[in-house]
Amino acid sequence: MVFLRSLASLLLISSLGLQVLAASTTTKKTTTTKTSTTKTSTKTTTTKTSTKTSSTAKATSTSSGASWSWPNWNSYSDSTDAQWQAAWNITNWAYPHTSGENHNIVANPTDSSEKVLRVFYPAGSFKPSNTPVGGIGFYASPLEIPASANTVTFTYQVYFPSGYNFVEGGKLPGLYGGHDDCSGGNDAETCFSTRNMWRTSGEGESYLYIPKDAQVSSICSNSLIICNSDYGYSVGRGTFDWTTGSWNTITQVLQLNTVGQQDGAITEVHGGSTAFSLGQLVFRQSNYGVAGIDFETFFGGSTSAWATPTDQYTYYRGLSLSYN
């Protein structure tokens, strides 16, 4: 039995190549299916089928793609205006619970001829379940992205005024899939989110909620990753710094894993330079794609040590979302 398994495993590795070597769990599961002498469980069969379906779908999508872009808010005058929110296809306001709070459309601080979004964090605000509520949180799906997309790219510009106090850190927008609320200690078994963060002194990172049990066992020894048993993975902390007094352009490129394999990847580009690129990730355990933008920003962190001591603001413009 053990011999048969190893033999099948060897054959499989030589036929599928290195990628399978990296994904030891998958190799074992697939081997069981291949070796027809073993009792193939329904579960194993399902895993194999979905893997196949997913890679086929991926291949057929290579010639297609689509994009959405939002350079500024020039055509909009009021942050409570439902028009831009309809254009973004905002599906859920997570906090504040009414759409008009903590944000306004204002002149671009570096170019008064343009209008941008400004977000407000009142003094004393940190995690949004606390009061006063700082920042905003909403989910938007302005572009329908198929689960079979090869890569999904999200770009935006964020401006921190000169003298911005980063305190201990805060959240910034990213992408999500599976379902919303993939944050705040959610176990991320059926969802993922890829928000960015600022940390002390403006250090940048991406902050991933991804299914913990499904990752490569060595994930916490990767020097790019800081693991946290209760919350998300901090990835690439300090590989770039958020600037103050000028616009930061940040791009996230996601390559979702093939279901059943540890072959997902994330790349972050800040100010035109690649900050980091990380592979061998599992974003999903069944076949869903990027649902849209998780536009979340607040100070925190779950304790008052993260609170902003004064009223502060950040600004946003130059958004785009695309897939191929």
Ligand X SMILES: *[C@@H]1O[C@H](CO)[C@@H](O)[C@H](O)[C@H]1NC(C)=O
Q: Which residues bind ligand X (CB under 6 A)?
A: 89, 91, 141, 144, 291-292
Report in angstroms how near the CB of residue 133 gets to ligand X at its nearest. 24
Comparison of 191 and 235: residue with beta carbon closer to ligand X: 191
Helix axis angle, 2-16 to 24-34, nearest 10°:
110
Distance CA 256, CA 246 (A): 32
Q: Report the residue count for the chain.
A: 324
Instruction: Give min distance, CB of 176 to ligand X, in A.
Output: 10
- Between CA 78 and CA 138 the distance in angstroms is 17
CB 208 within 8 A of CB 193: yes
Q: Shortest distance, CB of residue 262 to ligand X, whole angstroms?
A: 27
CB of 140 to ligand X, least distance (A): 8
Answer yes or no: are the C-beta atoms of 170 and 299 closer than 8 Å. yes
Say if CB 126 and CB 299 are below 8 A apart: yes
Taking the complex as a whole, the smallest distance from the CB of residue 291 to ligand X amounts, in Å, to 5
Cβ-based nearer residue to ligand X, 40 or 85: 85
Cα separation, 42 vs 316, in Å, equals 48
With CB atoms as reference, the residue minimizing the distance to ligand X is 141
Give me the phi and psi of 49, to 5 degrees please.
Answer: -60, -45
Report the distance separating Cα 172 and Cα 293, nearest Å: 11
Q: How far is the CB of 184 from ligand X (least distance, A)?
A: 21
Closest residue by Cα to residue 305 from 131, 205, 183, 167: 167
Q: How far is CA 66 from CA 53, 84, 232, 264, 323, in A?
A: 22, 20, 30, 21, 6
